[in-house]
């Protein structure tokens, strides 16, 4: 019995520690440290619901808003994460234009200093993201051109129909005059 008591206390402590540490099996990006890769961060973002995404956006935007007040510090990590949020289709701030603008800004700042300390795999992810954003914007621009062409065609058809209606109204008016003239002659 004396041996069981000494044995059961460590087992109890170990099992309670195990249970308490396992409460959060999937860590959200907020609770992860900065040593995770951007690929892992993006995958974690895909698992979040809309409310959690909004919280992550607000957190990153507040971090970035503080940076201009600290002239010597550039928080490229938060900017890259915000870039990934702009690129995530389920994100409440999904916007290819904003993502591309932020990516261009980061590329132009300090001759790519934002990407100087990331691994080749992360550089490949950023490069892939850049290509994807370029393709999205290209497709968006092509769609806009096509819509503008369709609008021009529809406007031309509408103008043609208005001209035809005007011509028909004139023809009807002329026919009425002719009918009235014939009626006056018959009387």
Low-confidence winner among 29-33, 37-41, 66-70 (lowest mean pLDDT): 29-33
The 3-state secondary structure of the chain, one letter per residue: CHHHHHHHHHHHHHHHHHHHHCCCCCCCCCCCCCCCCHHHHHHHHHCCCHHHHHHHHHHHHHHHHHHHHCCCCCCHHHHHHHHHHHHCCCCCCCCHHHHHHHHHHHHHHHHCHHHCCCCHHHHHHHHHHHHHHHHHHHHHHHHHHHHHHHHHHHHHHHHHHHHHHHHHHHHHHHHHHHHHHHHHHHC
pLDDT beyond 50 at 52: yes
Sequence spans of domains, the chain:
2-186
Which of the two residues, 96 and 155, has the higher pLDDT score?
155
Cα–Cα distance measured from residue 39 to residue 122, given in angstroms and rounded to the nearest whole number: 7
pLDDT digits (tens, 9 = 90+) for 57-104: 899 888 888 766 554 446 688 888 999 998 888 888 888 888 898 888
User: Whole-number mean pLDDT of the chain?
Assistant: 80
Q: What is the predicted pLDDT for the residue at 67?
A: 65
Which of the two residues, 32 and 38, has the higher pLDDT score?
38
Q: What is the predicted pLDDT for the residue at 27?
A: 47
Q: What is the predicted pLDDT for the residue at 20?
A: 46
pLDDT digits (tens, 9 = 90+) for 162-186: 999 999 999 999 999 999 999 888 8
Which of the two residues, 40 and 90, has the higher pLDDT score?
40
pLDDT digits (tens, 9 = 90+) for 110-148: 556 777 778 888 889 988 999 999 999 999 999 999 999
pLDDT beyond 70 at 30: no
Q: How many CB atoms within 10 Å of residue 86?
A: 22
């Amino acid at each position: 019995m004396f041996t069981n008591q000494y044995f059961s206390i460590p087992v109890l402590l170990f099992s309670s520690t195990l249970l308490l540490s396992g409460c959060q099996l999937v860590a959200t990006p907020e609770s992860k440290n900065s040593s995770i890769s951007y690929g892992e961060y993006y995958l974690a973002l895909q698992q979040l619901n809309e409310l959690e995404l909004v919280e992550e956006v607000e957190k990153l935007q507040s971090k970035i808003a503080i940076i201009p007040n600290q002239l010597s510090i550039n928080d490229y990590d938060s900017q890259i994460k915000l870039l990934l949020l702009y690129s995530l289709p389920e994100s409440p701030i999904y916007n290819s234009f904003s993502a591309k603008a932020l990516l261009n800004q980061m590329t132009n700042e300090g001759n790519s200093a934002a990407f100087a300390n990331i691994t080749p795999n992360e550089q490949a992810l950023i490069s892939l993201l850049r290509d994807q954003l370029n393709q999205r914007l290209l497709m968006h621009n092509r769609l806009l051109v096509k819509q503008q062409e369709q609008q021009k065609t529809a406007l031309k058809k509408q103008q043609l129909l208005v001209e035809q209606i005007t011509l028909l109204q004139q023809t009807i008016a002329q026919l009425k005059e002719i009918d009235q003239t014939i009626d006056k002659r018959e009387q």
